[in-house]
Amino acid sequence: MNIMSSLVGITVMGISMPMVAQMSIQPFMAQKRADNLGVAEAQAVGYAAANEGSTTLTATPDGCDDPIELANGAYSITCTEGEDTPYVQTVTRSFRLQVCDDNDGNNGHGNSGGFDCSNPGGGGYAGNERVFANATPGSFEPHQCPSDDPWGVQYTNDQWAEQWGWGACLPGVLWNKRTYLDSNPDDWLYDISEYGFGTHPDY
């Protein structure tokens, strides 16, 4: 190899070295951003799931802004991971609290579909009979309800019926007899006493 070839080679390497170095660390930078996204999303999704359909907001987790009220009981929460770094990631998720009945039979939407928020399960008694906030589904599918709609009454059952003609999803209290017996009928959103696990001792 002559001197000219060596000089050309050295020059090319000198020019391209910063680009090569930048390219070589890109996968590590992408992985760090992905890690931060996973943490932020876990915080936001976990908070939204924990508060979906509840009557009060839980404490805001670290790394998240206080929930912002949108409308009609809906809120959004924004969580951030990697703040003050080049790899910061932010995730926002929305959820909805229970719609409370205003005690005059109208929940603010022209109907009486709201919950009695003094009784989170929506249950109670009329005479000697238990009453529930929702009608019991006619049939169930062997699929569990999602964590953000644990009884299927927010959107899941309607969506399944419309898209596939399916029955209702299984709420967590019906996954097995143990969860059924450990549940409190006062918290049921519809009557599941006839599902097949026998009469609940507290019913």
The answer to the question of residue 63 being in a domain is yes
| Regions of the chain with pLDDT less than 50 | 102-122, 125-127
Give the global pTM: 0.44
The answer to the question of residue 66 being in a domain is yes
Q: What is the pLDDT of residue 156?
A: 93
Question: How many structural domains comprise the chain?
Answer: 1
The answer to the question of residue 198 being in a domain is no
Q: What is the pLDDT of residue 8?
A: 57
Q: What is the pLDDT of residue 78?
A: 95
Q: What are the pLDDT digits (tens) for 16-27?
A: 556 555 666 777
The answer to the question of residue 137 being in a domain is no
The answer to the question of residue 32 being in a domain is yes
Q: What is the pLDDT of residue 67?
A: 92
Q: What is the pLDDT of residue 134?
A: 86
Q: What is the pLDDT of residue 33?
A: 87
d(CA 30, CA 32): 5
The answer to the question of residue 114 being in a domain is no
Q: What is the pLDDT of residue 88?
A: 93
The answer to the question of residue 22 being in a domain is yes
What domain range is 32 assigned to?
3-96
The answer to the question of residue 161 being in a domain is no
